[in-house]
Structure 1
Amino acid sequence: MSLLEISSFAAGRWVAPGAGARNIASAITGKVIASAGNDALDVQAMLDYARTVGGANLRKLTFHDRARMLKALAGHLNKHKQALYDLSFDTGATQSDHMIDIDGGIGTMFVFASKGRREMPDGHVYLDGDVEQLSRNGTFLGQHICTPLRGVAVHINAFNFPVWGMLEKLAPTLLAGVPAIVKPATNSCYVTELAVKLMLDSGILPEGALQLVSGGLGDMLDHLTMQDVVSFTGSAQTALKLRANPVILENSVRFVAEQDSLNASILGPDAQPGTPEFDLFVKEVSREMTTKAGQKCTAIRRIIAPQAQVDAVIEALSARLSKTTIGDPRLETTRMGALVSNGQKRDVLEKAAIIGREAERVFGNPDSFTVDGADADKGAFVPPMLFHCAEPDKAQRVHDTEAFGPVSTIMGYRDLDHAIDLANRGQGSLVASVITHDPAVARKVAIGAGAYHGRLYFNNRDSMKESTGHGSPLPHMVHGGPGRAGGGEELGGVRGVKHYMQRTAIQGSPDILSAIGEKWVPGGTEVKGPAHPFTRKFGELAIGETLLTAPRTVTLEDIETFAHFTGDTFYAHMDDAAAKRNPFFPGRVAHGYLLLSFAAGMFVQPDEGPVLANTGLDNLRFMKPISAGESIKVRLTVKKKTPRNEEYGEVRWHVTLTNQDDEIAAEYELLTMNAF
């Protein structure tokens, strides 16, 4: 096999390894397979290229344009994932591990593409929260908006997930409209390089949106500005060093860190041996110890079980771990491959020895284990190792030492408060899991441990068939944690996108806010269209276009007919004396849903036309009752337009029902799908 030269993609061109290049060895054989790194990269040129070319090109696109771009990228990678699988074996990962890394990363891009289309506007400004009324009469309002930063995102990723680690950061960054410079860990950068080549060769990305550093960053961080972002995944020690960079501190450069984490899993007091929860607990812990050979930032490092169940857990877990076949990850029979490098192997064994000072190893001997299809001495193989800490209250190192491999420590707890205290002694974790069928146990842990964890994962017999697992960060949910875990957040749907945008408070009149946000604000200018709005296609409707109906009188007969027809004979509509005893009503009043039905009849244009469907109501409020003899009229205004596909788009209408005195009786937002 010829030596792979892993290049960087800098300022629009590929740069081969040069001075300062490092050799990369196969995790399976220990033999050198590649080299990467070039100390001559012009980092200032890369930053300038990203800011001036990449940023400008991305910001021309709307959120929906960028979402479609992500979907196309994910689809392209999906077609070529076999090549990524084939290359990834030398990282020590099995085929199952590849699916977590490669398929998981592609899936994350698909999710952000979907959320970008469904939850963000087809525009350039993201509205964050509701309009705030800052004056009595509503002529002076406030609104928070988010717009893309004008800098570059520098992504520094760990070795364990060369594809997912890149894509989970890249997806929200590109959706925000910010270019990225990706720096993968050198040990597995050859997999990342292929993924980047695939994306660049696809022609989907605009120029300057993505660059790659294979090897060291040099002094790139010394050239960052207040418009840039650093997103780091790795050790707490490295994060501290990077975070302390004087330029980052002086310029208040955003620094997102996801680092070491002593994640815990708690076996609930109700989960006795023989219950589905006990078996699930053993399965979850075993999986988290052996997937990616334990090289996961979310892996279970501390196993917390009722004191009375510790021996049973050790016995059951040891039996399950004994069935884990260790070997060449290319073999179908292999269930756990190698660590990423022999350097990582040495580190794991050193950390395991530290843990061993406070805990007894009860399973797994690194000096005697079987490896199928490979040389255990030359490859970076270690067996799963389970320790038992008999006195966790007196221990320190089991709560602060992470062996980043298939190593975990079991400890007993006296009661649930004690279990929570032990979990929190990790001083900040990405995730803690609780296996229990008792909702009261879950609630107590959530309240007691929530402040120390970025995610709490509860599982039991009801959810176990569909749950995604303790160690699986999902693009919909926040990934990160306080304290030792880095204090940062990634993913979390649109929350993750906003990390690469600036939140700005804007203040002004309704028309000003409407113009900035491309969304009509009540009190803003209303425009009368040339014809009934339901006869006009999606593209013909203007924001603020308004229809005002003629009034309709509500009669007692209307109320009684509606009551008997629907079966809604609630006393406020049928019994005048009872209604008057109610503090909200002057006497018998019309049903709220009767008013909505009348409203639809007052503004609907019945003929076949561009309105294809009514898809729902949002933010409905009934504000003033309508009695028999009173009249209502309706104001219908185009509030927002969102394209959905090439055939139709969603129109959000602001609807108000007023009485004969122009007092608002009801208000809501109507959603329709309109043809282009």
Structure 2
Amino acid sequence: MPIATVNPATGENLETFEPFGRGELELRLARAEAAFRDYRTTTFEYRSQLLRRAADVLDADREQLARTVTTEMGKPLAQASAETAKCARALRWYADHGAALIADELPGEDDVADSGATAAYVRYRPLGVVLAVMPWNFPLWQVVRFAAPALMAGNVGLLKHASNVPRTALALEEVFRRAGAPEGCFQTLLIGSGAVEAVIRDRRVAAVTLTGSEPAGRSVAAVAGDELKKTVLELGGSDPFVVLPSADLDAAVRTAVKARTQNNGQSCIAAKRFIVHADVYPGFTSEFAKAMGALRIGDPMAPDTDIGPLATRQGLADLSALVADALAHDAVAECGGNRPNGPLEQGWYYPPTVLTGITPAMRIHREEAFGPVATVYRVESLDEAVALANDSPFGLSSNVWTTDPAEQERFVRDIEAGSVFFNGMTASHPALPFGGVKRSGYGRELAGHGIREFCNVTTVWLGPT
């Protein structure tokens, strides 16, 4: 795949980038190694100030960065601007809390004495150079949620971004350069996917984090495993959105629309499978389809656009094939289901679509729909809702609408997912760990769990003198 900026609203190739050759790649790896030797010894206060300055740069360049993101991957401009602001908040959150999250840990005095030590503690030390293989769907946020904790812990970063967002990737390197990061502390690698294995195997790279598809995760994990290097994987998701009889239906419908269509529906943690109790199924499904069908599709730069184009031509083809397969197996399109005609045909647009009558014979029952397509299921009981929610190879997040404490506890106990959000929409926040189970990956980003993923958890034991 070429490294290029292609406008998904028009299909126009705006700029093509030459991938780094061996010489440039070697230079950047050497810089990263040299930077780590010094950066690892900096104080928490030094790193905090670096993150705060990076946040200031993001704030100052917010609208320019948002336009770059929208141009490259098609999300509505207002959402791109909000993503930029969220990145600045995350940098400041780690600047404020990072030192406390990886401060020395002291065991109890009795435990220290029982170990035979006069003193003992745990120290979190940085691992080294961390390679981040990142996707295009949240091209700023996915990177910052790795970079903020990694840099705060004393690691340095190498970014291999998706090949369709090179301008964004280079802009992120520039953000940290302008913030005063030491040379080599955070660098972008303009390389294709075929060059990733050699970087992972390079002795100077200590660990890898990837957000992306299941095949990409398997490939990176296999190489890193062969080298015995730490990995964190955040992969696909097919999150359930369960609506039970006690739900506030109006709020559930409003949130369901946003949860399915944010980022043009291209989000791993988007609600994708809507599992609705029979008592409220007719009302929810009717209002949901009506609201989805009323969304405005068009130029992502326009302020009144709700849904922009999908980010890639292949993504459009894959989503179209999933819907076509479902309809061929007798699913019903309550709205959408066909590509728009007219001027939008030039871009990679797909309309908000609601499908009912889903059966296991359909590919969409098991596969992730990466775009504004929702599947709606009718269930007769709480047990059936739990079973259907778990009937997926993925386990990233989940949404449940109920005010019944017993039903809430049942989902906390039984849902096979990395998180469960009640009466609200799944979202990531720096203070809350983020990640999944099953084929959605392993490890955690954000919060204290995320900053410790790329630390050497070091036991220090002091014997009698």
Q: Deviations over 1:475-530 (max 9, x none)?
A: 11111101111123111x1221111111122222489xxxxxxxxxxxxxxxxxxx
Q: Separation in 1 of the partners of 2:237 and 2:179?
A: 38
Letter in structure 1 aligned against 2:449 = R
1:266-665 map, 5 Å: 266-271=242-247, 277-356=248-327, 360-367=331-338, 369=340, 375-389=343-357, 391=359, 394=360, 397-449=363-415, 452-459=416-423, 469-491=424-446, 493-509=447-463
Cα displacement (A) at 1:134: 4.5
Gapped runs of 5+ residues in structure 1?
A: 1-19, 272-276, 460-468, 512-676
> Could you list the per-position Cα deviations for residues 362-405 of structure 1 after superposition, in whole angstroms to 9, with x for gaps in the alignment?
2333435367xxx22111111011111355xx557344211210
Deviates more, 1:151-160 or 1:31-40: 31-40
Cα distance in 1 between the residues matched to 2:211 and 2:385: 28
How far the C-alpha of 1:353 sits from its partner, in A, is 2.7
Deviation at 1:239, TM superposition (A): 1.0
How far 1:191 sits from its partner (Å)? 2.0
Deviation by residue 1:149-184 (Cα, 9 ceiling, x = unmatched): 1x3110011111111111111001101111100111
Within the alignment, does 1:30 sit opposite 2:11 as a pair? yes
Call closer, same or farther: CA 1:300–1:131 in 2, change over 3 Å: farther
Aligned mates of 2:252, 2:115 — CA distance in 1: 59
Deviations 1:316-341 (A, max 9, x none): 00111122000001112111111112
Paired residues of 1:339 and 1:382 also in contact (CA < 8 A): yes
1:234 to 212, 219, 225: 212
Runs of 4+ in 1 over 6 A off after TM superposition: none
Q: Give how far 1:232 is off.
A: 0.4
CA RMSD of aligned residues (A): 2.4
* Structure with larger RCO (C-alpha < 8 A, sep 6+): 2
Name the CA distance, whole Å, in 2 between partners of 1:198 and 1:503. Answer: 30
- Show the counterpart of 1:254: 230
Q: Does the CA-based 8 Å contact 1:102-1:163 persist in structure 2?
A: yes
Q: How many residues align?
A: 461
Which one of the candidate residues 87, 92, 113 is aligned to 2:95?
113
Structure 2: runs of 5 or more not aligned: none
Task: Report the CA distance shift for 1:183/1:368 in structure 2 as closer, same or farther (over 3 A).
Answer: closer
Moved more, 69-78 or 351-360: 351-360
What's the offset of the Cα at 1:185?
Answer: 0.6
Counting helix residues as a fraction of each chain, which structure ranks higher? 2
Deviation string, structure 1 residues 422-464 (Cα, Å, up to 9, x no partner): 1111233221011111111111111111xx21111012xxxxx
* Inter-CA distance 359–79: structure 2 relative to 1 (3 Å threshold): farther
Residue 172 (structure 2) aligned to one of 173, 179, 195: 195
Matching residue of 1:104: 86
Query: CA offset at residue 196 of structure 1?
Result: 2.0
Aligned to 2:351, the other structure's residue is in SS state coil
The aligned counterpart of 1:557 is none
Shift of the 357–416 alpha-carbon distance from structure 1 to 2, 3 Å rule, reads: farther
Answer whether contact 2:244 2:280 (CA < 8 A) is retained: no
What is the deviation of 1:283? 1.1
Output the TM-score relative to the length of structure 2.
0.92
How much does 1:216 deviate?
Answer: 1.3
Q: What is the TM-score with the length of structure 1 in the denominator? A: 0.64
Matched to 1:181, the amino acid is: L
Distance 1:481 1:443 in 2: 19
Matched residue type, 2:344: A
Deviations 1:105-127 (A, max 9, x none): 22211211111255454xxxx43
Letter in 1 for 2:235: Q
Larger radius of gyration: 1
Is the 2:336–2:351 contact (alpha carbons within 8 Å) kept by the matching residues of 1? yes
Give the deviation of 1:138 after TM superposition.
Answer: 6.9
Question: How far apart are the structure 2 equivalents of 1:269 and 1:366?
Answer: 29
The alpha carbon displacement at 1:299 in A equals 0.6
- 2:7 partner letter: S
Provide the C-alpha distance between the structure 2 equivalents of 1:226 and 1:419, rounded to a whole number of angstroms. Answer: 48
Q: In structure 1, what is the Cα distance between the partners aligned to 2:77 and 2:374?
A: 23
Amino acid at match of 1:243: A
Aligned identity (percent) is 23
CA distance in 2, matches of 1:137, 1:224: 39
Corresponding letter in the other structure for 1:207: E
Q: What is the deviation of 1:223?
A: 2.6
Do 1:239 and 1:259's aligned partners in 2 also have CA atoms closer than 8 Å? yes
Q: Which amino acid aligns with 2:216?
A: T
CA distance in 2, matches of 1:36, 1:128: 50
Whether the 8 Å CA contact 1:162–1:189 is kept in 2: the answer is no
Instruction: Please tell me whether the aligned partners of residues 133 and 141 of structure 1 are also in contact (alpha carbons under 8 angstroms).
Output: no
Alignment of 1:132-143 (within 5 A): 133-135=111-113, 139-143=117-121
Matches within 5 A, 1:150-229: 151-200=128-177, 202-216=178-192, 218=195, 219-225=197-203, 228-229=206-207
